[in-house]
Structure 1
Amino acid sequence: MLFEGIEICCPRCRDELERPAENVLVCRGCQRRFPMVLGIPDLRVAPDPYIGFEAERAKVDKLVQRFDDYDLEGFIDFYYANTSVVPPQHAALYKRSLLAGVARARGWLDAWEMASGTGMRMNVAESALLEVGCGTAPLLVAAERYVPRVGVDIALRWLLVGKKRLQQAGLDIPLLCACAEALPFRPSTFDYAVADSALEHFTDQHQALDEMLRAMKPGARLFIATPNRFSIGPDPQTGIWAGSLLPESWTAAIVRRQGGIPPIRRLLSAGQLSRLLSEAGFLGIKVYLPPISAEQRAHFPAPVRAAIALYDAARQLPILRELLRLFGPLLHAVGQRLAPGGVAALKR
């Protein structure tokens, strides 16, 4: 079926979906029923690892009831006020990151386009973009040059926050609740696929990349951002210095002592990321250190801006750049699905 301009299908059997009622989709083949919440289809085949279906539905019901009462910032505050498992210091860290998300996404898009376009930003007009793990949808706001675009995430509760962000930005972009490992799309649908700070959270990274590759057109581009497994800086998900470098059991113990829930993730080094993308069948893979744009820097306090300036300076020096690739905070990667004409076509 055509859902808000994007062709979707059953994530289990790939048969046609029908909409017999306002808030439900039904698969014509396997007869599986998929509910809809505030216009967001719930097409998951497995629950979010952090929360079961019933517990999330209870939280979603609260968010739906108060959806029209807040702007984005207020809705984020309401979300964390009803999430007792997130301690206040973590909620403040996450909120700051969420509010800076659009500026960060604009910087990342520029960097990916430069890395993929032989030193120039690519022409992306009339290009369909899929974001897997879109969270609260900052990249969907930032990617205004990509039309159409669609966001997928396993967390229905976060998609409601994303819907609020899109509403506040005056955008009507389809959001789908689905598993990265079972995407509800036909083959060869998208020109670009993005996983921004999401790959590390996928339950099965190989299967998720297989699904993204399947949904991409021949010659389509892949954009990835993910924390570096060996970063010595603050962990972006916990705020713990060298939290990515520490054994996961140590990081988990520290987070539990702070009253929080340890992240469920598989972090990758630069080499591991490159191998994973290659094994998935992507070509033209480039793993690199992203720049930090002026718009991104403006959201940080002065000490962090000073550290970013040092990072950018070090990134320009070959020896230090290699060290940063090993121990820097974040990795970017670009790749491409094999184009018609084979490998030679990727070099044009």
Structure 2
Amino acid sequence: MHSPPNSRNDVRSSATSAEALSPILSRVPAGQTSIWRCPRCHGALACSKATLDCRRCGHAYGQVDGIPDLRVPGESWIDFEEDLATAREVAALDLPLEDLVRAVYARRSGWDEDLIGMRTRQVLAAPERLHGDISGWLAEATSQDVWLDLGCGPGMLLAAAADMKRPGSGIGVDVSMTWLVVARRLILAHGGRPILAAGLGEALPLADGALSGVVSLDVIEHVDRPDAYLREIDRVTRPGGRLALSTPNRFSLAPEPHVMVWGVGLLPHRYQARYVAWRSGKSYVSTCLMSSIGPRRILKRCTNFAARIIIPPVPEDEIRRFSPTKARLARLYNSLSGEVALRAVFLLIGPFFRITGVKETSLPA
């Protein structure tokens, strides 16, 4: 799984990645040449032209397009070997950014041109759309010294932060090497310096206390072990560090956003995939929505974050695309969701929620 790529493009990109790391390396312990750590033993990694080598356990990690592959065996929504092969093919394509994104989506079985085009436009438009979030509820987490976009996908948030010249250094980790290859191009197109690695949320390739902020948007519902994922976030965040998460609400009255089927979250988890297949013919794997109670309990039990849950409004740019009736309902929802007396109701039935937090210095009991 970690065999090193052989193209000259990978070697050239390795130098680019090392250059991009230079502002952060000033805060890395002497003798360590990468911010990344071995996900197996957390040992320091030494950079060579084609690999990152663990000085403690001796494991060597390959890379694609200068992006280290620091994944370890574990449950995931993708096949690592297949994804690695696809990433190498995509990295070798000499295409404009839009065509590159389209090429990745075109590989998906059953996707027609309309769907491919829509999703491609969403990726390219997302950095500008995310400016409001970065100025708003993500402002604290994304202005930190070194902050992580965990589950960064095509790099849309990191590209947006580059647009806005955020004061901190943003780095990205995602389980898909293919999307990280796209993320590198997108971040560069927005004037940023891509600092990326393939890794699992349950085994982050970072040292204890390496970060002062973590953002992870719509990820917790896709990880196999949410408790391990949140413990890892806690481990790599230093005291005083900021946390920002988002996820759809299991008991929302709106359709399940991944498959657009009503009532999925009202069923026990073991029946959800069969129900989705019956109603839509779609697959429903590696997705397990949680209520607002679930993440709050895990954070309290497994981490040192003092967290609060936010009920966000439906964004106005989305409402403008709704039908007149749906738009009126969405605006009514926005006006009522801010009422303190109705908070418990909207935590239960709202379409999604956000969690922000600060890591405290005392350890949880």
State TM-score, norm by structure 1: 0.83
- Cα 1:81–1:123 change in 2 (3 A) is closer
Residue in structure 2 matching 1:8, options 12, 36, 42: 36
**AA matched with 1:70:** P
Look up the match of 1:20: 48
Q: Count residues with an aligned counterpart.
A: 330
Residue in structure 2 matching 1:279, options 281, 301, 308: 301
State TM-score, norm by structure 2: 0.80
What is the CA–CA distance in structure 2 between the aligned matches of 1:233 and 1:103, rounded to whole Å?
26
What is the CA–CA distance in structure 2 between the aligned matches of 1:337 and 1:232, rounded to whole Å?
32
**AA matched with 1:139:** L
C-alpha contact (below 8 Å) 1:107/1:292 kept by paired residues? no
Look up the match of 1:326: 348
Residue in structure 2 matching 1:211, options 228, 232, 252: 232
1:129 maps to 2:147: yes
C-alpha contact (below 8 Å) 2:234/2:305 kept by paired residues? no
> In the TM superposition, what are the counterparts of 1:66-85 in structure 2 within 5 Å?
66=93, 68-72=94-98, 74-84=99-109
- Cα 1:123–1:328 change in 2 (3 A) is closer
**AA matched with 1:167:** L
- Cα 1:212–1:175 change in 2 (3 A) is same
SS of 1:160's partner is helix
Residue in structure 1 matching 2:241, options 220, 245, 265: 220
**AA matched with 2:254:** G
What is the CA–CA distance in structure 2 between the aligned matches of 1:310 and 1:80, rounded to whole Å?
35
> In the TM superposition, what are the counterparts of 1:69-108 in structure 2 within 5 Å?
69-72=95-98, 74-84=99-109, 91=116, 94-95=119-120, 97-103=122-128, 105-108=130-133
What is the CA–CA distance in structure 2 between the aligned matches of 1:150 and 1:93, rounded to whole Å?
27
Look up the match of 2:62: 35
C-alpha contact (below 8 Å) 1:44/1:177 kept by paired residues? yes
What is the CA–CA distance in structure 2 between the aligned matches of 1:328 and 1:302, rounded to whole Å?
19
C-alpha contact (below 8 Å) 1:86/1:259 kept by paired residues? no
CA RMSD of aligned residues (A): 2.9
What is the CA–CA distance in structure 2 between the aligned matches of 1:86 and 1:278, rounded to whole Å?
41
Q: What is the deviation of 1:157?
A: 1.3
What is the CA–CA distance in structure 2 between the aligned matches of 1:317 and 1:42, rounded to whole Å?
46
SS of 1:69's partner is coil
SS of 1:129's partner is strand
What is the CA–CA distance in structure 2 between the aligned matches of 1:337 and 1:59, rounded to whole Å?
38
Look up the match of 1:58: 85
- Cα 1:241–1:77 change in 2 (3 A) is farther
C-alpha contact (below 8 Å) 2:142/2:213 kept by paired residues? no
**AA matched with 2:153:** G
- Cα 1:92–1:268 change in 2 (3 A) is farther
Unmatched segments (≥5 aa) in structure 1? 114-120, 344-348
**AA matched with 1:162:** A
What is the CA–CA distance in structure 1 between the aligned matches of 2:117 and 2:248, rounded to whole Å?
20
> In the TM superposition, what are the counterparts of 1:100-119 in structure 2 within 5 Å?
100-103=125-128, 105-113=130-138
Mean alpha-carbon deviation: is it higher for 91-100 or for 139-148? 91-100
SS of 1:112's partner is coil
Q: 1:275-315, CA deviations, whole angstroms, 9 ceiling, x for partnerless residues?
A: 111112234321121134445656x3455544432221121
